[in-house]
Structure 1
Amino acid sequence: MKKQRFLITLSAFLLTVASWAVPAKPGQWRMLFLADGRQIKAELKGDEFTHFWQTESGDCYISEGKAFHLIDKYTLSQQAQSIRMEREQLRSRRTAHTRGLGDNHAPYTGKKKGLIILVQFCDLSFKVTDPLTTFNHIANGKNYIEGNFKGSVHDYFLAQSGGLFELDFDVVGPVTLKNGYAYYGQDNGEKGLDKHPGEMVVEACKAIDAQVNFADYDWDGDHYADQVFIIYAGKGQADGGSDDTIWPHEFELEYAYGSKPIFDNITINTYACGPEQNGKGNIDGIGTICHEFSHCLGLPDTYDLLHANNYGMGSWDLMCNGSYNGNGYLPPNYTAFEQAYIGWNDPIVLMEDQVVSGMKPIGDGGNIYQLVNDDYPNEYFLLENRQQTGWDEAIGGSGLLVTHIDFDLDVWHHNAVNSVGSTFMKGNNIFKTNHQYLSIVPADGITNHNDESSDTYPYNLKDSISNTSSPTFTLYHAKTNGSTLLGKAITDIRQNSDGSIDFKFRAVDTNTEAHIGGVVFHETFDQCNGEGGNDGNWRVSSGSAEYIADNKGWKLAGEGGGYKCARFGNVVTKGIVTTPKFCVTGNTKLTFRAAPYGEDEIEIGITVMGSNEVMLSQMSYTLLPEQWTECESLISGTGEIAIQFTPSKNRFFLDEVKAEVMSETSTIKTVWNNKADARIYDIHGRYAGTDIESLAKGIYILGGKKIIK
């Protein structure tokens, strides 16, 4: 194994800053009054740039005066994208003066100083009696334990850096602004942006100019303050505040105010802000401050900024929902990627077969291990030990956490890491993201914010990640041999009584023993967010939105997005499509849902691609109009294969394609094209005849069921 500096293999240069914000705190439900007089219960979603209320059934509402009206999720995503594109066009006109994302900077070490200005409004003062003393302790306290606080902002960054980076703050104020809080925080029309947060920042800086030297906050000598942080009285809109309160965010005065003021020969541009109180009316925790100052270190947001239900990093990451862990008092440890990216924990690249023993939790300085796509080195997997202790006390579970990274400098630079469908200029071309670039590989195969305890390894009987496990190391960038499997394995994962982790690494995965019940391939198409299919719309006007798959490597024809499903083919192109490659061993159950596009009955055929030794028990299905047909087939044999779908007419809908390893006693429920079929197959999927009595003893498949003779 090799321990190395974690450098992005691109030249260092300064980049512009994207728009940052914290996501809405999960679990904020309220009754909404609709324009028609009805009331509904909904949860707050989104961030500073697009926020809305969503019901349990998935309907979305935005405010319109004192009432709320329905808006579709696709429009919301497009609205969020539009706002970010507007900001991008503005940013493209200037040269950046802040440290960008993806530059090959030296590790952040030594002492740095930040500025926190306490701000209250003419109609709202701080609730706490002595805000200056209180927030000085919260920002700068050493081993600060008081009330709900388990540490200060200073304590947090010192711990994340292993003592290498010490961040202290000048805390000044409180300053009373000339306007009420609604003047600065009121939502600006349907887009929901706050009206005048930039004015709040400039007023505050002018008020405290004589008390500080702004040059102290210029970290790199470029005559720009790296960030000014505002703590404002009351609640924030992301956690319990009204629509007239400010949503915590980081942005630039150049756009939020219209100019960049200068104090002490230092330009003030980048700022961030957060509230005094949380949703319960108590002093807010340090999660928001730590999140926003982490942007100063070059870290992007890892939640879905387009609000299309991409998981991101959940509670595992400060830059996702983790800023709310422990109600904001227990932000989680930096992830393996973040510690490595900033330069505080260099990963160990696994290159040769070995046994790793006693891997300590990342919060205790534990090692990070890296598995690289050898044909595309910017794609890799990181292994870290996460335990529910210390700063990680409030994360979703304990064990070995696996993260999949596909590093793209432009994606990081535009803060679009897990915002599938983000659009921006890449060189002279328009680029659109089509997958998450930094997200976990959950042990249970499910990314769910409500249950993260099964994300880490080992989980139940799952103690390995290999070519034939579920999940597996699936690549976005195929290797030179065409495979989308990493071809390396982590096995025998064990969590010890002291919280340490053991595992074995195989540099070349030769595993041919599939795990019973394991899903070796699963495509949900849930990122398709258009119309058609699952919404009951089968007409020819549907299925025309953007196609986005969970898995990279599909061979496509006339693709489009329905509602949580895909549509293939068009008027001139037959929708013959092929899955990415996946490994099968022995018996594997293939299931999928398919439906005609329009009102006509069609046939659909499936074929194994890539191996003559792998067989299917059924290869043809009749799809009745205006309904899904649930299809199953037995895949028998061993090899790396793909499944091709061929419709009898040009267009069809497809959903929930899954290949799952079977036990010897499992059965297949086959759709027999509405006709009786007496064909018999052996256990390897080979045709054996129609007379069971004439066959030798053994296991056969008849009518989709196994028969023992």
Structure 2
Amino acid sequence: MSEDNIVMEKIIYTDDMLPARTPNGMSKIRSSNDAEVYSSGERYFPVMLVSTSDYKALDSAFMHRMFNEKGFKDNGNYGSAYDYFVESSAGQFKPTFDIYPITLPKNFSNYNSDSELILPAIDILVERSDFKARASKYEKEIPFIILHPLSREKALAQNSSFFNHQYKLQYSAKRAYTKNGYTFNNYAFISQKAEGKASSTSSKDVNMLGTFVHEFSHVIGLQDTYSADEQGYATIGPLPYDVMALGLRNGNGGYPPTFSSFEREAVGWLKPTEITNTDSVYELKNLSGMQAYAVSNPNKRDEYFLIEYRPAVGFDSKIGSSSYSGKQGKNGVLIWYIDYDYDVFFSNDPNGDLNHQRVEVRTVLSKNQDSFANFKFVNKSGKAKIDGIFNLVFDGDDRVCFTVKSSKSLDKCPEKVVASSSSIASSSSVSSSSGITSIVQKERHRVQMNVSRGMLNVEVPVSGKKTLRFYDALGNIFGLHTFEGSFASVNIFGENRSVFVQLDVNGRMLLAKRVQFR
């Protein structure tokens, strides 16, 4: 059977499936961080684990582990929801999901809409002493997850609006919820249990990790990238490559692929580098190093290609093993095509036009000397500055190298440069008692950096977004910290080694230093 004839997940489109428009939508994806304000840093989100009088919830301790435990491996999962977002963001986003068991007094069938179930659940939540003790950690308007006690298909059999989805109470309930000084609006509505396991209370019958990740990713601003064919089946889009498509089912749902470079850009975690110099040899690090290249339409800045490297590691190691999509992927250098339009994305169907896919993987390069030379734009007046990428060379799982001239030969990657900047290797060191000496840029003399009791303390008395990246001696990134103020204190206790620290301000490298932790 050909891929085109494989039946996918049936999707019934209704107005309720559309994402609510938010003040921080994705309307300026190439020029600003349009993520929800709570998609960076350490954030806390309440998760209501609902039981009804006729259906019991899964064990709350197990659910807490699945959402929060570092290195969670039960039920064939690569990690927890926390692990997923930390890996996708390279540590820029660290969500904690507070699990609150909630028992509703009626049978499940007595709730005729998601809001009829949600509002009484919040009524119970806001009176709980453990919620009140944690409430100061939540946002002013609290985004939340509600997990109902059935499987997806069992819930749909009772009510066609009970599919897994993200929405806002201001639309589903005609008002945001406000009580006791708390406000709730943006939410994800998700089944606790796996398909066919409506009555089970065994943790082995829990819903897929990929489903929880997918719906919560809507909460922080992402849209679906799958779409449906004429028969209403999800056969369109970057299916195994994207958690916002059917990649949520990779590895039986336990290995959802990490955010694409497009999605990392959308939520403000990554800024692609435009390819401009046709004489260079380009080094592209594993996507976990938060690097991607762009080839943009000079006449339409939101139409562009993205080049990212995804080896078969971590959550991305099952791209070639999707349990449901019918289309198997492969690891390597992914060439994405993006044609961003706010109104189309707002409809939550960017790939609805079969003849104009707005988010797609054009090809995957997976072996040495592969090439791609088809940077063509839908906008006929647009012309890429480069013809393609050529002479691809893989250097393990860490990086690949390529040229943008077919005539420029390349048979191996150049010698590694620490943290993608030769200036780091030659920088002077910082010990636990020293500060930073003045080097090159005029702002550098104003920066102070020291180590005390395993904490790296940095003072940057200039405005803008600051990013600290931490690299080992081989140039591999192992940590990242962002901050907006003038001071940051980062706990890297236990490293007990020399590491390289790179400081960027507003996306521009200010300095890079070697630091000895001891």
**TM-score band, normalised by shorter chain:** 0.5 to 0.7
Q: Which residue is 1:304 aligned to?
A: 227
Query: 1:387–1:399: 8 Å Cα contact kept in structure 2?
Result: yes
Counterpart code for 1:268? F
Secondary structure of 1:268 counterpart: strand
> Of residues 86, 92, 97 in structure 2, which corresponds to 1:158?
86
Matched, 1:384 2:308: yes
Amino acid in the other structure paired with 1:278: A
CA RMSD of aligned residues (A): 3.2
C-alpha deviations, 1:640-695, integer Å up to 9, x for none?
Answer: xxxxxxxxxxxxxxxxxxxxxxxxxxxxxxxxxxxxxxxxxxxxxxxxxxxxxxxx
Q: CA deviation at 1:463?
A: 1.8
Q: TM-score scaled by structure 2?
A: 0.65
Aligned to 1:494: 393
Question: Residue deviations 1:476-534, cap 9 Å, x none?
Answer: 11126xx6x7752111123344463221114xx999xxxxxxxxxxxxxxxxxxxxxxx
- For residue 247 of structure 2, give the secondary structure of its aligned residue in structure 1: helix
Task: Tell me which of 27, 32, 42 is aligned to 1:102.
Answer: 27
Deviation of the 1:412 alpha carbon: 2.5
**DSSP-derived class of the 2:305 partner:** strand
Aligned to 2:362: 441
Using a 3 Å threshold, how does the CA distance of structure 1 residues 288 and 308 change in structure 2: closer, same or farther?
A: closer
Q: Which residue of 1 aligns with 2:120?
A: 203
> Does the alignment pair 1:267 with 2:267?
no
Q: How many residues align?
A: 375
Does the CA-based 8 Å contact 2:167-2:188 persist in structure 1?
yes
2:195 paired with 1:279: yes
- Separation of aligned partners in 2, 1:271 and 1:409: 21
What amino acid is aligned across from residue 26 of structure 2 in structure 1? L
The residue that corresponds to 1:339 in the other structure is 264
Q: Of 33, 43, 52, which residue of structure 2 is paired with 1:112?
A: 43
Match runs of 1:153-552 below 5 Å: 153-180=81-108, 182-184=109-111, 195-211=112-128, 212-213=131-132, 216=136, 219=139, 221=140, 224-225=141-142, 227-237=143-153, 243-244=157-158, 246-279=162-195, 281=197, 282-304=205-227, 307=232, 311-356=236-281, 359-362=284-287, 364-365=288-289, 367-395=291-319, 396-420=329-353, 435-442=356-363, 456-458=364-366, 463-466=370-373, 472-479=374-381, 488-498=387-397, 500-506=399-405
Kindly report which structure 2 residues correspond to 1:40-51, keeping only aligned pairs within 5 A, or say none: 45-47=9-11, 50=12
Counterpart CA distance in 2 for 1:116 and 1:197 is 15
Compared with structure 1, are the counterparts of its residues 497 and 110 closer, same or farther at alpha carbon in structure 2 (3 Å cutoff)? closer
Q: Is contact 2:228-2:235 (8 Å) kept?
A: no
Q: 1:492 to 1:357 in 2, by over 3 A?
A: same
Where 1:397 maps in the other structure, the secondary structure is coil
CA shift, 1:383, in A, is 0.4
Shift of residue 337 of structure 1?
A: 0.6
Cα deviation, residue 202, structure 1: 0.9
Alpha-carbon offset, residue 370 of structure 1:
0.7
How big is the shift at 1:149? 2.7
CA distance in 1 between counterparts of 2:105 and 2:352 reads 36
Displacement over 6 Å in runs of 4+ = none
SS at structure 1 position matched to 2:71: coil
CA distance in 2, matches of 1:160, 1:389: 13
More helix per residue: 2
Q: Is the 8 A contact 1:399 1:501 kept in 2?
A: no
In structure 2, the gaps of 5 or more residues are 198-204, 320-328, 409-518
For the Cα contact (< 8 Å) 1:119–1:177, is it kept in 2? no
Cα distance in 2 for partners of 1:44, 1:475 equals 29
Looking at structure 1, the residues matched to 385 and 286 of structure 2 have their Cα atoms a distance apart, in angstroms, of 25
Q: Deviations over 1:531-566 (max 9, x none)?
A: xxxxxxxxxxxxxxxxxxxxxxxxxxxxxxxxxxxx
Deviation for aligned residue 1:176: 3.1
Say if 1:44 and 1:367 are closer, same or farther in 2 by CA, change over 3 A.
closer
What fraction of aligned residue pairs are identical, expressed as a percent? 24
Instruction: Assess if the C-alpha contact under 8 Å between 1:493 and 1:503 holds in 2.
Output: yes
Q: Quick one: higher RCO (CA 8 Å, sep 6+), 1 or 2?
A: 2
- Cα gap change, 1:497 to 1:382, in 2 (>3 Å): same
Cα distance change on mapping 1:200 and 1:276 into 2, 3 Å: same
1:359–1:366 Cα contact (<8 Å) kept: no
CA distance in 2, matches of 1:248, 1:309: 15
Counterpart-to-counterpart distance in 2, 1:247 and 1:87: 9
CA contact (8 A) 2:276 2:385 kept: no
* Preserved contact between residue 292 and residue 308 of structure 2 (Cα < 8 Å): yes
Q: Does the CA contact (< 8 Å) of 1:305 and 1:416 recur in 2? A: no
Q: Is the 8 A contact 2:164 2:191 kept in 1?
A: yes
Q: Which residue of 2 aligns with 1:517?
A: none
Q: 1:203 to 1:356 in 2, by over 3 A?
A: farther
Counterpart amino acid of residue 306 in structure 2: L
Question: Which residue identity does 2:318 align to in structure 1?
Answer: A
* Cα shift at 1:156: 1.3
Secondary structure class of the residue paired with 1:293: helix
Contact 2:286 2:397 in 1 (8 A): no
Counterpart in 1 of 2:68? Answer: 140
Q: Distance in 1 between matches of 2:396 and 2:221?
A: 36
Conserved? CA contact 2:51–2:149, under 8 Å: yes
Shift of 1:97: 5.8
Which whole-Å deviations, capped at 9, do the CAs of 1:158-216 have from their partners, x for residues lacking one? Answer: 11111121101221014234122x344xxxxxxxxxx4111111121112211224955
Q: Give the aligned residue type for 2:56.
A: S
C-alpha distance 106-199 of structure 1, shift in aligned 2 (>3 A): closer
SS at 2:365's partner residue?
A: coil
Deviation at 1:106, TM superposition (A): 7.1
Partners of 1:100 and 1:266 lie apart in 2 by 23
Q: Distance in 1 between matches of 2:168 and 2:182?
A: 15
Deviation, 1:112, is: 0.9
Cα separation, 1, equivalents of 2:17 and 2:210: 26
Shift of 1:303: 1.0
* Alpha-carbon distance change, 216 to 290 in structure 1, aligned in 2, over 3 angstroms: farther
2:7–2:233 CA contact under 8 A, matched in 1: no
Amino acid at match of 1:124: Y
Q: Measure the CA separation in 1 of the matches of 2:45 and 2:85.
A: 12
Is the 2:68–2:97 contact (alpha carbons within 8 Å) kept by the matching residues of 1? yes
Provide the secondary structure at the position in 1 that maps to 2:62. helix
- Partners in 2 of 1:510 and 1:413 — Cα distance? 43
Cα distance in 1 for residues equivalent to 2:330 and 2:211: 22
Q: 1:189 corresponds to which residue?
A: none
Alpha-carbon distance between aligned partners in 1 of 2:337 and 2:190, rounded to the nearest angstrom: 31
Question: 1:249 Cα shift?
Answer: 0.9
The DSSP-based 3-state class of the residue aligned with 1:204 is helix
Q: TM-score, normalised by structure 1?
A: 0.48
Q: 1: CA distance between counterparts of 2:237 and 2:389? A: 23
Structure 1 spans left out of the alignment, 5+ residues: 1-26, 28-41, 51-79, 185-194, 422-433, 443-455, 467-471, 512-709
- Cα distance in 1 for partners of 2:395, 2:349 equals 37
